[in-house]
Chains A and B, each alone.
Chain A
């Protein structure tokens, strides 16, 4: 274990030092949560009516990127009639599988952000695409 090798000066006791700051973070978060819930209470629309589709139907924000990508995938039409649906589902899925197996894809030993510019660049790129798709889905 690394702890035994490092010098004691570089280590901080988990209890009570780390736990205390963790609890302070929780306390602040609880305040933010209560403030948000009190100032912007969750609303309720009309009772569900399966016969009446509302004008702007969207999934929750955390599925919007995938939803919007599925719509945008229509551009793959030149690859064949089935291509948009196939690619629209499989590309995001492939991305998630790649993320799941990230430790096996990125086997470099370097750990600090400064020494891994390519990884940071790719992370930023994926983030921009996902946020862009989400905003696009939200405002279209």
Chain B
């Protein structure tokens, strides 16, 4: 036995894992996360997972962009020009962030359509569905607030007409519009609050909703589309 034993340094990873496992029960957590079984006939087409993947890409590229972005009407446009023209691979990171945003919305909608067609929102998965709708709204909110940040003509006027949709609400429409813009017009205040929502409120709420979404899915297992009724 002694001859086949691995050298002492090779046992270090196991020893570290064992140290933590003994104290916080890592094995149980990993088993709970990974060792579930899914119905063979459950064709998810990976749509939800792909949406989550795009969110991870958005988080990574968004953090990189935030290192160079300057959130004032005077400096925002020039900082985007700097990112695109001077910074190594800045153009690529910004383009990936912009394309990733659109693809994330596309796959979020495709995921929703798949759930509708397969009837996977039915009992007992009503809560997962509603949390998922929350995720769709947050994703759209990400798009809406992020669009203004480059502060070019398209960004400015798309936000102007976008917030005007809210103004059509009877009685309180004007108040909603001023709340969104931080005043009567799209201004420096709009930029500040859109950035705050885009970089703090949206990511925090998306991570919270996504965690809940995945915990419930793990708890219930995937819906088997071949099962004709509730299990």
Residues of A within 8 A of B (CB): 1-3, 5-6, 9-15, 18-19, 21-22, 25-26, 29-30, 32-34, 36-38, 40-42, 44-50, 52-54, 57-63, 66-67, 70, 82, 85-86, 88-89, 99-104, 106-113, 115-116, 119-120, 123, 127
Name 19 extra pairs, CB < 8 A, besides A42-B97, A48-B157, A89-B165: A6-B224, A14-B37, A25-B53, A33-B100, A36-B95, A41-B95, A42-B99, A44-B84, A45-B153, A57-B157, A61-B102, A62-B140, A66-B165, A102-B116, A110-B228, A111-B118, A111-B119, A111-B225, A111-B228
CA distance A30 to B58 in the complex (A): 12
Which residues of chain B are within 8 angstroms of A25 by Cβ–Cβ distance? Answer: 46, 49-50, 53
B122 adjacent to A111 (CB under 8 Å): yes
Q: From B231, which residue of chain A is reached at the shortest CB distance?
A: A2
Of B1-9, B14-22, B143-151, the one contacting chain A is B143-151
A88 adjacent to B156 (CB under 8 Å): no
Residues of B within 8 A of A (CB): 34-41, 46, 49-50, 53-54, 57, 73, 77, 80-81, 84, 91-92, 94-100, 102-103, 105, 113, 116-123, 125-126, 129-130, 133, 140, 143-144, 147, 150-158, 160-162, 165, 168-170, 173, 185-186, 220-221, 223-231
